[in-house]
A and B are shown apart, each in its own frame.
Chain A
């Protein structure tokens, strides 16, 4: 049945010139209020400490004018694009092609990652950058278990990174303590075992386990907390770990950090110019790039391990319980799911991967200090997870590439780098508020077909 003409939905009339000008004028007014002090008046301390100030009304006028014009342009652009939320009709061939491309993206990225050391063998800077990006990919995947799957907002993830790094550095420095039984009083003696070339391979799992233990320790007091309260306590926990490291000078060296951390070996073969080094054994000339390439593949392997475990866990009962807990904790309790162990396991697994990444960081740098473990790192990793789309493995990898790689890309812009970075973040959050990959793939199917769940159904991590 055709609708009578009068009942048919009528397109909303386009906003008039008056509306656009009014909006621009309001924006300009806000800009004037904001910038009148920030830009309009410049203050400085004089030679004898007095306050000197002078006005810059010209600059202020320029900024306000720019906001006015920008606001008009923005509004025109928005009207030209049509109202937000309209479905853009995409031809089926195009959308099918896009979904094929999307499915090929992950393998393509993996192959590219495997080939990076071959392609960029002579560019140490790019190799270094690749290692950095992969470290953040691994941290992002680790935090994704806690924030993306279990929905526990963790602002202190860097604490576990620090625990992993310091566990490795301290145990390698002082030796691995081994309690030995003895016949004489006090019957137990502690021997410190120096591990030499095997340091990294023995201490990597130990660092991860110690970090997991701290994850459980953090988990206990925050069991009853949700949302903002959980975020604050985890934030404080991150600071506590950093401050303890900073102030326990006898053990950690305080602000001076720990140097001379043993470098990783290729399962016992050191990557050094000496006679027992890998280069000498293979009979090729030594190059410092060898170690870089080795580190690259090492972090790639660690990151892929994290990814494999996270994907695997998601399809196991524990992973489903994490997601169910994110969706509705009360319903979980009514179904007989132990919230305590479920939460603690999420914290422990996330922390363990943070610990692995920390141990890798320590062995790569050869030197660590508390400066590397500030809140900014936690915020960066959390931003990667949020930007990537909570719970999405591919999204997190893309976000780490964009955030860390993109940040380096704009190095030429100097002080404006942060500005560009912030603008990009704002734009991304407007266009893709649920992150780059904003849908959730079910963990189990009854009918063998690929469906995804639109993100507006899925709960966000609120603790």
Chain B
């Protein structure tokens, strides 16, 4: 049996807040082991789509299907809250970093491995008695966290409070934390926001490594076009809650509709601008 090439299929997704339609009849797919970028001007509804996929909002219409490598399929709109991460294995980061600032970098990565560790600790009872099987599981978890700290270059600061780390390190730590929950789909909400050029480049490298080495599919919202164009395999463009373009980076960049949306002008003006520019 071959598994479908799409890891995530969003079908006719709609999200209304009272009279405001944030996302209207949106359909797109994210391919397995690819980086799919979701872009669009401010207020286009990108984060709303993210919140629907990761279970923070319950969509008012439509569905989202996620298919694991082993063929297990999940209708995300039917999963409740924390189960999207626990069973469907969708991890996310936040636009404004949400680490546990008073806990160390290592502890942050340990919290991400909560569910397997909880099982290993016999739902606390075995762990309370100091069962050797739990100690082994914990040592493995620490080792896994150490590998991620090495990958993001924070192994020396493992025992420092996450809130004390520089901004760029916090961004990478949040991605590492999401990866420690061993997701099938990693959703990143503006990972390059606030990073300088060299930090952005390091981020691109990290995301490509996640795709290539771990085979994790990535869905990403980003405003930094240098990052988006460099690493994305596929781009979906939203404007006012509607998909206006969908395709490979090159095709999307040359789409007059996209340019119009970003320039805030109508399509004819955009075409004129593009033709004038080239």
Contacts and interface: CB of A to CB of B under 8 A. Distances in A.
Interface of A: 309, 312-313, 316-318, 320-321, 323-324, 326-328, 330-339, 345, 440, 442-447, 449, 451, 453-454, 457-459
Contacts of B145: 446
A332 B92 CA distance: 11
B107 to A, nearest CB: 6
A324 B142 contact: no
B161 interface: yes
A444 B124 CA distance: 17
A212 B227 CA distance: 52
Contacts of B104: 442, 444, 451, 453
Q: Which 9 A-B pairs have the closest CB atoms?
A: A458-B102, A336-B85, A336-B86, A327-B100, A446-B158, A317-B117, A331-B98, A316-B127, A324-B111
A321 B111 contact: yes
A335 B159 contact: no
A446 B157 CA distance: 9
Given A332-B82, A453-B161, 19 more contacts: A309-B128, A316-B121, A317-B117, A318-B118, A318-B121, A324-B103, A326-B102, A327-B102, A328-B99, A330-B98, A333-B82, A334-B54, A336-B83, A442-B159, A449-B159, A453-B102, A457-B101, A457-B161, A457-B164
A446 B146 CA distance: 8
A200 to B, nearest CB: 24
Contacts of B85: 333-336
B177 interface: yes
Nearest to A323: B103
B163 A447 contact: no
A110 to B, nearest CB: 21
Contacts of A336: 82-86, 114-115, 181
A444 B91 contact: no
Interface string B125-165: 00110000000000000100110010000010011110110
B128 A312 contact: yes
Contacts of B128: 309, 312-313, 316
B8 interface: no
Contacts of B57: none
Contacts of A323: 100, 102-103, 107
14 contacts: A313-B128, A317-B118, A327-B100, A328-B100, A330-B56, A330-B94, A330-B98, A331-B94, A333-B55, A333-B85, A338-B86, A444-B104, A446-B145, A453-B104
A325 to B, nearest CB: 9
A273 to B, nearest CB: 41
Nearest to A458: B102
Contact of A327 (B83, B103, B106): B103
B127 A459 contact: no
B114 A335 contact: yes
A320 B110 contact: yes
B124 A313 contact: yes
A98 to B, nearest CB: 21
A191 B84 CA distance: 49
B228 interface: no
Given A313-B128, A316-B121, A335-B112, A445 B159 contact: yes
B69 interface: no
Interface of B: 54-56, 81-86, 91-92, 94, 98-104, 106-107, 110-115, 117-118, 121, 124, 127-128, 142, 145-146, 149, 155, 158-161, 163-164, 177-178, 181
Contact of A337 (B82, B94, B163): B82
B101 A459 contact: yes
Nearest to A440: B102
A327 to B, nearest CB: 4
A447 B156 CA distance: 8
From A335, A338, A440, name the one whose CB has the most chain B CB atoms within 10 angstroms.
Answer: A335
A316 B82 contact: no
Contacts of A334: 54, 56, 85, 91-92, 94, 98, 178
B121 A442 contact: no
A323 B177 CA distance: 16
From B102, B106, B115, name the one whose CB has the most chain A CB atoms within 10 angstroms.
Answer: B102
Nearest to B117: A317
A446 B142 contact: yes
Given A334-B54, A442-B106, A339 B82 contact: yes
Given A331-B100, A336-B115, A459-B101, A446 B163 contact: no
Nearest to B187: A334
Contacts of B158: 445-447
From B118, B128, B160, B164, name the one whose CB has the most chain A CB atoms within 10 angstroms.
Answer: B118
B114 A320 contact: yes
Contacts of A330: 56, 94, 98
Contacts of B91: 334-335
Nearest to A324: B111
Given A335-B85, A451-B160, A457-B161, A327 B121 contact: no
A112 to B, nearest CB: 28
B185 to A, nearest CB: 13
Nearest to B160: A451
Contacts of A316: 121, 124, 127-128
A457 B108 CA distance: 14
B53 to A, nearest CB: 11
A318 B159 contact: no
Given A324-B111, A328-B98, A446-B158, A335 B177 contact: yes
A337 B114 contact: yes
Contact of A444 (B100, B107, B164, B181): B107
A334 B189 CA distance: 13
B127 A317 contact: yes
Contact of A320 (B92, B107, B146, B161): B107
Given A313-B124, A446-B106, A333 B98 contact: no
Contacts of A440: 102
Contacts of B111: 320-321, 324, 332, 335, 337
A443 B81 CA distance: 27
A334 B54 CA distance: 7
Contacts of A451: 104, 159-160
A333 B81 contact: yes
A444 B146 CA distance: 12
